[in-house]
Structure 1
Amino acid sequence: MSISFNEIPGISKLFTDYLYSFDKVRELYAFDYRSESGFESCIEEKKRNYIKEALFTRDEVADVLRDQNINFDVSSKTFENIELLRKENTFAVLTGQQVGMLSGNCYTILKALCAVKLSDELGSMFPSYNFVPVFWMEDEDHDFLEINHINIFNRTNELKKISYFEKGEQKDKYTKPVSIIKSDEFINDFIDSLANELQPTDFTSNIISIVRKHYIEGSLLKDSFAGFMNSILKNQGLIFCDPSDRKIKNFFSYIFSKEIASYPTACEEVVKTSADIENEYELQIKPRALNMFYIHNDQRYVVEPKEDELLGLRNLKIRFHRDELIERLKSEPEKFSSNVVLRPILQDYVLPTVAYIGGPSEVSYFAQLKGVYKHFNVTMPVIFPRVSVTFIESKVKNFFERYSVSFTDMINLSDVAKKILSDIDNTDIEKIFTTYRDEFRSLNFEFIEKLEPIDRNLTQNFKNRAEKFDDTFDQMQAKFINSMMKQNESVTNKLNNIRNNLFPGDKLQERTINILYFLNKYNLDTIDFIFEKLNLFDFNHQLIDLSLKTVDSR
């Protein structure tokens, strides 16, 4: 089952037009993701210009990826896919995400599974080519507070945020790239908190063991991220790419050099496209004159134009001539990193990408980048919307069935509450008791009239008993009303619990909950179940019924 994104609040108009009215936005993208011919055209163009102006070869890219993935606990299938990249008929299906704790929110796992599944689909469509899934680890962001925590439902089914802080201290601002952050002794407190909050199941011990295996004191968070992902994805053959690696930064030098030499051209391309669409759509990207950062003393700083045609680092007094910065790029490539404008260009310059799996925001920001791709002479890939999913548990399914409500009903909590409670309250207790009391009193009066001539004393005794019984009506009515109120409170609590399961923090489940909640409850093979149920070509929001999964406790 699936739900149109038009029924889900908070989804950008550009994304819904991309899904349901593609002709409106066709000119903003290079290829049509809905058709086989769109992929075919992208493949042909990529064949013509991949590494055409590059200072590296396919073999060198494969060598770097091999060396990186040795550290990530990958399967043999991953190394087989890396070897395929050496061949000219091999292309990449790419996705990526910030390096979050324990993979971050569920959509990270969905992206990875979509990349694997689309690679398989394209292999069937185009049997003369190879397609391999690649996960680009966005590990140079410095938004540590965005990635240092996970959310799960705890033992009392409450939404619980579990955070990790270096040295156990929270800062207001972080400028250190995630790529150089190592776990310290406080990582054990994080894992202990997770173990204490997870609902105890037959699988909890194994889940926590996997976490402890990868998140250990002294390990880089990026290595822990990739290792953990591979532990739960098992033999999917996903290739991880770490863009902070000095060797791969060498491959980026052409793009960074051109950005420095030609600025603000890339910025102007984004501004030009933005001006064309800003009246219709909300813009995702605000470009800078230079779309790059420089890492100084382990902190990441924006590179920006300064006085006298010099370049400098924001908030510092350091200055460079343009040529000097290009020379530094040659000697210290690891000190340069991209922002959101250049990141896709770097990805698709280094890799033979034919498709990028992106969520709603990513699909939207690619709409502003077509001119930037042309500026750098890099093929813009097919932008393929990732599968979007809410997982339906048994308790949710049972609630839906009992109260005749649906996923879309649950979007508006107040409306669904009124619907459910009105169905329960359709019995008017006060009216029932009033009618019954009136009928009882009328019938009692008739009895007394007929019985009194026979025996006045017995009739008085009957009358006294009848009056006592009459007095119980108010008591019983109050008890029934109280019972109804308790039932409503119980239903309201259940409703809030179900709403919180589907929209934790008023967001889609996939954007809040970590996959460990589900793996702990339903076992690691839940990944295989999800992979099987994902429908790549249903571009609505999908509902996957976890009650259909057989839990294997082995």
Structure 2
Amino acid sequence: MPTECIPYRETNYFTTLILDYLSGKEELKEFYNRFPKLENFEEQIKEKSSFPAENRKILAEVLENQYAEVNTSEKTRQHIEALKSENSFTVVTGHQLNLFTGPLYFLYKIISTINLTKELKEKYPDFHFVPVYWMATEDHDFEEISFFNLNGKKFQWAKTPKNAGLDAVGQLSTEGLEDVFKLFSAEIGGGKNAETLKNLFEKAYLEHENLTDATRYLANELFKEQGLVILDGQDKDLKKLFIPFAKNELLEQKSHQATSPTAEKLNKLGYKVQVNPREINLFYLHNGLRERIIEREGEYFVHETEIKWSKDEILKELNNYPERFSPNVMLRPLYQEVVLPNLCYIGGGGEIAYWLELKAYFEAENITFPILLLRNSVLLQSEKLDKKRQKLNISNKELFLKQHELINRKVRQISNIDIDFSEQKEHLVNQFQEMYSLAKKTDKSFLGAIKAQEVKQLKGLDNLEKRLLKAQKRKLEDEVNRITILQNKLFPNKSLQERQTNFSEVYAEMGPKLISELLKKLDPLDQEFKILTFEE
């Protein structure tokens, strides 16, 4: 599988904040502890070595319970056991419970995580490193997780009577996915790879009662041989470890106090703030309800309900039922680092952006801030598409241009006439410079008239250039169509493939080699965009 790399800055798909973070810009260094380089993990290990032994014991017990009915690999079992040891650490990624993995970057996140643990083991052989996928079972945005795209078609899971009123997606019944499975089976067709995918979908979603169990089965089947450990954070014993921090949130609004100044600093530096913190960043999760907690004049309310407590009552509720207190996006990172002996969080650009808001909050709670690593990004193309690209004389880098820019560039290149009027415009500007000089020597009142005439004539040349280009596009319609089809195939909905395409579309062509080749080719610390070409 040939590989080509492109700097993230040249893809035009990543924010200034992420590009500046990757380049190690000085102004951003106060927002994180250590840059993701292999040698920096030595100090991270030392700092995280203070992780409590009791937390390790509880974590391992929770995982053993969650895996009690799961047919997993010996390697995953060994990783769970290893977490009891003080010289074991995790590398973690998190993701929503997207239907049938959702977009391709689900795979890239987990593969980045697995591969980093391998590199760490080579560098620091005296320690154990465990790859962890944190399932976002407490999220409540059904619309975001209820579909996937295959061959340009959207496969949508509709809410059912059993799921009505349920906000935490992990609790959702898998009822109604039979219809999605039928449509998927018809679309994916026949053949060995297609049958594997159908079997995977059927066992995950039609033989498990809720979305948490279905997603655990699916991720385990895809990555158990690499020892991936899958964790559901919605657990009473884990939530007990978070009680002191949830209490600080309720009584002192600690995250808001710590992160608001950070968000303001980032904003002043010219960066878009990813998440604006609320005063209380906790939800109340009970009986299908997940709604935010609000404090007013010493009393606590659950938004849009009649549930309310005094200060003493809510603290009693927290101590008795910690599982009912659900961290939002601002608190989930802290919760994760409280319950995991974690060294590094691997996420997409949006995730890294909101983690960069949190360092001061971690310091206020005396919790080690993890190393932040941008997950691998990949464009997968078949040999057939790659040959079409080469025949059209399009470089891999040019594929990332906006479509109109790519077409205009190629039309100019293959046209048998010159459609670039830059030379004529330069000549015109030079002529008008002479006229400006003449006017200054004679009558300066003519300067405005000369300027108006210059603008008019330059605009005329622009219009002529555009008309000529348009005419050539019509003349070269076949080439334009082939360029458009190629780019639309590789960038569906004019977006990165990894944000749109489901893994099943590529697996149907590649089979098991999809994951094995990604594991071979993706170096999580090599911070460039990868283009991989595969045999069909």
Q: TM-score, normalized by length of structure 1?
A: 0.82
Taking the aligned partners of 1:65 and 1:393, their CA distance within structure 2 comes to 39
Comparing 6-15 and 515-524, the one that deviates more: 6-15
Q: 1:14-413, aligned counterparts within 5 Å?
A: 14-36=17-39, 38-48=40-50, 50-51=51-52, 56-153=54-151, 159-167=152-160, 176-184=167-175, 186-198=176-188, 200-216=190-206, 219-263=209-253, 265-279=254-268, 280-306=270-296, 308-410=297-399, 411-413=401-403
Report the residue type matching 1:310 in the other structure. E
Distance 1:286 1:169, change over 3 A: same
Q: 1:364-513, aligned counterparts within 5 Å?
A: 364-410=353-399, 411-426=401-416, 488-513=476-501
What's the C-alpha RMSD, in Å, of the aligned pairs?
2.3
Report the residue type matching 1:493 in the other structure. N
| Shift in Å, 1:205 | 1.3
Residue deviations 1:459-491, cap 9 Å, x none? xxxxxxxxxxxxxxxxxxxxxxxxx99994443
State the SS of the aligned residue for 1:131.
Answer: strand
State the SS of the aligned residue for 1:95.
Answer: strand
Distance 1:170 1:126, change over 3 A: closer
Residue deviations 1:407-434, cap 9 Å, x none? 3322221122234345555399xxxxxx
5+ unaligned residues in a row in structure 1: which ranges? 154-158, 429-483
The answer (yes or no) to whether the contact 1:187–1:217 under 8 Å persists in 2 is: no
| Shift in Å, 1:376 | 1.6
State the SS of the aligned residue for 1:92.
Answer: strand
The answer (yes or no) to whether the contact 2:193–2:508 under 8 Å persists in 1 is: yes
State the SS of the aligned residue for 1:278.
Answer: helix
Residue aligning to 1:8: 11
Residue deviations 1:272-295, cap 9 Å, x none? 111112022110111011111002
| Shift in Å, 1:315 | 1.4
Distance 1:98 1:485, change over 3 A: closer
| Shift in Å, 1:528 | 0.5
| Shift in Å, 1:226 | 1.5
| Shift in Å, 1:102 | 1.1
Distance 1:486 1:276, change over 3 A: closer
The answer (yes or no) to whether the contact 2:376–2:529 under 8 Å persists in 1 is: yes
State the SS of the aligned residue for 1:392.
Answer: strand
Distance 1:485 1:508, change over 3 A: closer
Larger radius of gyration: 1
The answer (yes or no) to whether the contact 2:112–2:523 under 8 Å persists in 1 is: no
Comparing 291-300 and 365-374, the one that deviates more: 291-300
| Shift in Å, 1:71 | 3.8
Residue aligning to 2:525: 537
Residue aligning to 2:505: 517
Taking the aligned partners of 2:73 and 2:25, their CA distance within structure 1 comes to 38
Report the residue type matching 2:41 in the other structure. F
Distance 1:487 1:189, change over 3 A: farther
| Shift in Å, 1:169 | 11
Report the residue type matching 1:525 in the other structure. K
Taking the aligned partners of 1:291 and 1:219, their CA distance within structure 2 comes to 30
| Shift in Å, 1:40 | 1.2
State the percentage of identical aligned residues: 28
Taking the aligned partners of 2:21 and 2:358, their CA distance within structure 1 comes to 15
Taking the aligned partners of 1:489 and 1:137, their CA distance within structure 2 comes to 48
Taking the aligned partners of 2:377 and 2:329, their CA distance within structure 1 comes to 22
Distance 1:424 1:13, change over 3 A: closer
Distance 1:218 1:122, change over 3 A: closer
Distance 1:258 1:168, change over 3 A: closer
5+ unaligned residues in a row in structure 2: which ranges? 419-471
Residue deviations 1:248-284, cap 9 Å, x none? 2223223212222322x21011111111120221101
Residue deviations 1:387-423, cap 9 Å, x none? 1111122232112210111233222211222343455
The answer (yes or no) to whether the contact 2:208–2:214 under 8 Å persists in 1 is: no
State the SS of the aligned residue for 1:544.
Answer: strand
Residue deviations 1:54-109, cap 9 Å, x none? xx432221111121123444212111001110100000111111111111111111
Q: How many residues align?
A: 478
Report the residue type matching 2:172 in the other structure. I
The answer (yes or no) to whether the contact 2:76–2:224 under 8 Å persists in 1 is: no
| Shift in Å, 1:228 | 1.0
| Shift in Å, 1:244 | 1.3
State the SS of the aligned residue for 1:167.
Answer: coil
| Shift in Å, 1:175 | 5.9
The answer (yes or no) to whether the contact 2:75–2:224 under 8 Å persists in 1 is: no
The answer (yes or no) to whether the contact 2:9–2:19 under 8 Å persists in 1 is: yes
Distance 1:337 1:301, change over 3 A: same
Residue deviations 1:297-338, cap 9 Å, x none? 3111100112x3111111123211222112111222221111
